[in-house]
Amino acid sequence: MRPVRLTMQAFGSYGQRTAIDFTEPRQQLFLISGDTGAGKTTIFDAIVFALYGEASSESNKKDGAELQSQFCGYATTPFAELSFREWNGGIEEEYTVRRTPRHLRPLKKGSGFTEEKESVSLTLPDGREYSQNTRETDRKLIEIIGLTKPQFMQLSMIAQGEFMELLRARSEDKKLIFRKLFRTGMYQSVVEELANRRREGLAALTELANRCVEELAQLVIPEDYAHAAALSEQKNRVQRSERLNVAEMEELLSQLREEKLWLSEERLRADAAEQSAAERRDRTRDSLTRAEALLSAYTKLQQAEQELSAHSVREAEFAEKTERMRELRQAYELLPLSERAEDAARELQESTAGIAAEEGALPLLREETEVRSREERTMQATAAERGEAYTKCRESVLQELERIRRRQAAEAERIERERSRDEAAKQAAAAKAALQHSSEQERKLREEAEQLSDAELRLERWQRSRESLGELEAEEQALRSLFQICEEGKARLTELQRQYAAARTAFFSASKEQLAVQTAFLDEQAGFLAREKLREGQPCPVCGALEHPQPAQLSARHEEVSREKVAALTERCSTLRSRQETLAKETGALGELTRERETQLLEREARLRERLQRLFPEESLAEAAFPVLSALLGRERDRLRESGAKIQADAVRLRQIQETLSHMEEQRGRLSETVERTAERLRHKETALTETETRLTSLREQTVFPTEEAARQAHDSALRAKKQAEARCQDARRRLDESRAEQERCETRLRQYRERLPRQQEVLDMRREAYLAGLSRIRMTEERQRELCRRYEEADIERLRQEITEHKELLLSVRTRISACRETIAGQPRPDAEELSEAAMEAEHDLIARKREAEARRAALRSAEQVYSVLLPRMETREKLLREYTRLDSLYNRLAGKVSGSRMDIETFVQRYYLRRILHAANRRFLEMSGGQFELRMTGEEQAGEGKNRGLDLMVYSTVTGREREVRTLSGGESFMAALALALGMGDQIQQSSAAIHLDMMFIDEGFGSLDERSRDQAVRVLKRMAGGSKLIGIISHVTELKQEIDDQLLVTKTDDGSHAVWRIS
137-155 pLDDT, tens digit each: 998 988 888 888 877 776 7
Strand-strand pairing, 2-9 and 18-21 = antiparallel
- The Cα–Cα gap between 117 and 132 comes to 13
User: Is 1061 within 8 Å of 1051 (Cβ atoms)?
Assistant: yes
Average pLDDT over residues 859-878: 80
- Closest to 358 (Cα-Cα) out of 370, 346, 366: 366
Q: Which pLDDT does position 94 carry in this prediction? A: 92
Q: Which of 37-41, 1009-1013, 1025-1029 has the least mean pLDDT?
A: 1025-1029
- The Cα–Cα gap between 490 and 495 comes to 9
CATH (residue range 1-156+1001-1066): 3.40.50.300
What confidence tens digit (pLDDT) does each residue in 601-633 have? Answer: 787 778 777 777 777 777 777 777 777 777 877
pLDDT at 541 exceeding the cut of 60: no
Q: Which pLDDT does position 81 carry in this prediction? A: 95
- The top-scoring range by mean pLDDT among 51-65, 591-605, 625-639, 898-912 is 898-912
- The Cα–Cα gap between 71 and 68 comes to 9
Per-residue pLDDT band for 36 (boundaries 50, 70, 90) equals confident
| Dihedral sign of CA atoms 583, 589, 592, 594 in order | negative
Average pLDDT over residues 240-267: 78
pLDDT at 794 exceeding the cut of 70: yes
Domain regions of the chain by residue span: 1-156+1001-1066, 466-536+567-624, 795-823
- Count the neighbouring beta carbons within 10 Å of the beta carbon of residue 321: 15
Residues contacting 292, CB < 8 A, separation 6+: 833
- The Cα–Cα gap between 834 and 844 comes to 15
Cα radius of gyration rounded to whole Å, the chain: 65
Strand-strand pairing, 954-958 and 934-938 = antiparallel
Helix (H, G, I), strand (E, B) or coil at 108: coil
User: Is 973 within 8 Å of 926 (Cβ atoms)?
Assistant: no
pLDDT at 1028 exceeding the cut of 70: no
- The Cα–Cα gap between 600 and 40 comes to 27
Residue-by-residue DSSP string for 176-207: HHHHHHHT-HHHHHHHHHHHHHHHHHHHHHHH
Strand partners, 902: 899
- The Cα–Cα gap between 509 and 718 comes to 155
Distance of CA 535 to the CA centre of its chain: 108
Per the model's pLDDT, the better-predicted residue between 79 and 673 turns out to be 79
Per the model's pLDDT, the better-predicted residue between 175 and 521 turns out to be 175
User: Is 105 within 8 Å of 117 (Cβ atoms)?
Assistant: no
- The top-scoring range by mean pLDDT among 183-192, 407-416, 508-517 is 183-192
Q: Which pLDDT does position 503 carry in this prediction? A: 83
Angstrom distances, CA of residue 195 to CA of 171, 175, 191, 198, 837:
21, 19, 6, 5, 75
What confidence tens digit (pLDDT) does each residue in 918-939 have? Answer: 888 888 888 887 878 888 888 8
- Closest to 743 (Cα-Cα) out of 1036, 362, 470: 362
3-state SS, one letter per residue, for 427-467: HHHHHHHHHHHHHHHHHHHHHHHHHCCCHHHHHHHHHHHHH
Q: Which pLDDT does position 122 carry in this prediction? A: 93
Name the region of 111 (left: φ>0; alpha: ψ -120 to 50; beta: rest). Answer: beta
Helix runs in 782-832, H state only: 782-791, 795-825
- The Cα–Cα gap between 1018 and 1010 comes to 14
pLDDT at 558 exceeding the cut of 50: no
What confidence tens digit (pLDDT) does each residue in 680-739 have? Answer: 887 787 788 788 778 777 776 766 666 777 777 777 887 888 888 888 888 888 888 888
To the nearest 10°, report the CA torsion of 735, 740, 744, 749: 30
- Closest to 872 (Cα-Cα) out of 261, 275, 253, 87: 253
Angstrom distances, CA of residue 645 to CA of 449, 649, 650, 651, 720:
18, 6, 9, 10, 88
- The Cα–Cα gap between 227 and 221 comes to 9
Q: Using CB atoms within 10 A of its CB, is residue 434 exposed (0-12), middle (13-18) or buried (19+)?
A: middle
